[in-house]
Amino acid sequence: MKSLLICPADRPGVARLADQGPLAVAPLLGKSVLEYWIEALVARGAQHIVVLATDRPDQVRRAIGDGTRWGVRLELFPQSRELTVAEARARYQAPGASGWLPQDDVVLLDTLPGQPDLPLFESYAGWFAALGGFIPHAITPHRIGAREVQPGVWVGLHTQIDPTARLVAPCWIGEHVSIGPDTIVGPHAIVDDRVVIEHGAHVASSVIWPETFVGRLVAVKHSLASGSLLLNHQTGSCLRVPDAFLLGPLDHRRFEPEATGLAGGCFALLALVATAPIAFAVMLVSLLRGDAPLVLRLGVRCQRNLRDRSHPTFAYYELAGAGNWLRRWPQFWSVARGDLAWVGNRPLRPTQAFGLVNDFERLWLARPPGLISLADASGCPEGVSVESCAHASYYAVNSSRRLDATIVTRAMLRAAMAWPIYRHRRPQAPGIPGLVPTKEG
């Protein structure tokens, strides 16, 4: 089954929504209208989806990739102008163009799935009404970790809400959001991903776009807040707030979790020194055998946006000639430096990270990489497998101090029962298994 999606181009009624990117990939409850429609078509059985994009097609391509995370084939065709549904159907059913489009699978992305009577891009008021009506349907099978914490209140993954904050239904709070004490969120509030709302603020009948800071005692009502831009969705009037302490964009580094603290770094240095005699002995044996004592590895750092394919990396080392826990001895230094946490998901190589094909598997990258993992505590072999992905995703969603303590205890018991040094094997002659070269030849 094949389908075609037409991305909207210019929409004068909501021009401000396209300031930072095309309307097709503008943030809507943590995703975009294009992503919601792709998920809806995949649920119907679509295997090949063609996207027609007029406005900044390069950004659309970066947002959706090649369709691997949905398990479909995605193609993007840049257009000189926005086609109507009839024009797109006629063009792609013309002779020589395969004629494969069923009647119901050409979609103009002006509405959200299941909401044909709520146009998104005719006016700001219509856009806000469409978002509010879609909140109960926004938790799709492809969204991981979001939950309804109380009737009409949905909260995403890794969100911190102060116990004194009041959430008034209906409201939506995205991922990696921080809500301070004595705040009021709702009713009819949408707080998107990576937003900070400080002490005493009030958000009602409004949308806070990603990576926006709302300051102390600030009231945002009947508006869209995006960085320093404040737009009234009832009247269409807008202004730039000059004071970043009231409203402004957030620094991306605020959402990069710290891998370890000062105490954890000092303990890692003590562990490095305490186990050094064993490690030095193994390194000496490797040198006598003519092998390099250390192996350089490249790991992928954790990512605040799991759909980002840039994969920033860091270097770390493993001890050659050692097995089990001893192989990770140089990584005590990585913990002390802050590249690794004591407990986390094991670092992946860039090629392994590119192989994580969907949101569930990519949760592996949602937490800082660690020296010890839940997979280690459960006896999983190293590497990416179905079992290790399940452990990594579980830890990303349920990480806590109690779980960390359990992981460390179980991992230490397993390490104590394992032999830390590999048995060295002489290299075999190539081509004939078991043959050892002699002096004669």
Retrieve residue 140's tokens: 């799709």
User: Above 70 in pLDDT, residue 420?
Assistant: no
Does 345 or 253 have the greater pLDDT score?
345
Retrieve residue 16's tokens: 């401000």
* pLDDT attached to residue 357: 76
Confidence band (pLDDT; 50, 70, 90) for 304? low
* pLDDT attached to residue 245: 87
Cα 411 versus chain centre, distance? 27
Retrieve residue 269's tokens: 């240095």
* pLDDT attached to residue 309: 65
* pLDDT attached to residue 413: 86
> Distance between CA 25 and CA 58 in Å, rounded?
11
Summarize the confidence of residues 231-260 as an average pLDDT.
78
User: Above 50 in pLDDT, residue 432?
Assistant: no
Contact present, 225 and 207 (Cβ < 8 Å): yes
* pLDDT attached to residue 258: 54
Candidate ranges 94-98, 205-209, 373-377; pick with highest mean pLDDT: 205-209
> Which of 362-392 are b and which e, b meaning 16 or more Cβ less than 10 Å from the residue's Cβ?
bbbbbbbbbbbbbbbbbebeeebeeebbbbb
Closest CA to 304 of 186, 411, 177: 177
User: Above 50 in pLDDT, residue 266?
Assistant: yes
Contact present, 87 and 41 (Cβ < 8 Å): no
Per residue in 38-72, pLDDT (tens digit) is: 999 988 888 889 999 998 888 898 888 888 888 88
Per the listing, tokens 């303590």 go with: 405
Contact present, 3 and 74 (Cβ < 8 Å): no
Does 416 or 278 have the greater pLDDT score?
278
Closest CA to 202 of 188, 224, 218, 187: 218
* pLDDT attached to residue 151: 93
Confidence band (pLDDT; 50, 70, 90) for 421? low
Per residue in 339-360, pLDDT (tens digit) is: 999 999 999 998 888 888 776 7
Bridge partner residues of 147 (DSSP): 155
CB proximity list for 428: less than 8 A, separation 6 or greater: 434, 435, 436
Summarize the confidence of residues 172-188 as an average pLDDT.
94
User: Above 60 in pLDDT, residue 94?
Assistant: no
> Distance between CA 108 and CA 3 in Å, rounded?
11
Summarize the confidence of residues 185-190 as an average pLDDT.
95
> Distance between CA 302 and CA 304 in Å, rounded?
7
User: Above 70 in pLDDT, residue 145?
Assistant: yes
Candidate ranges 115-119, 259-263, 287-291; pick with highest mean pLDDT: 115-119
> Distance between CA 363 and CA 359 in Å, rounded?
6
Residue range 147-254, CATH number: 2.160.10
Q: To the nearest whole number, what is the mean pLDDT of the chain?
A: 85
Summarize the confidence of residues 310-335 as an average pLDDT.
86
For the chain, what percent of residues have pLDDT higher than 90?
A: 43
* pLDDT attached to residue 431: 43
User: Above 60 in pLDDT, residue 168?
Assistant: yes
Per residue in 1-17, pLDDT (tens digit) is: 678 999 999 899 999 99
Closest CA to 303 of 176, 389, 418: 176
Alpha-carbon distances of 435 from 289, 290, 291, 422, 440, rounded to whole Å? 20, 21, 22, 22, 13
Contact present, 285 and 259 (Cβ < 8 Å): no
Return residue ranges of the chain for CATH 2.160.10: 147-254
* pLDDT attached to residue 399: 79
Q: Please spell the DSSP secondary structure of 49-105, one letter per residue.
A: EEEEE-S-HHHHHHHHTTSGGGTSEEEEEE-SSPPPHHHHHHHHTSTTS-----TT-
* pLDDT attached to residue 222: 95
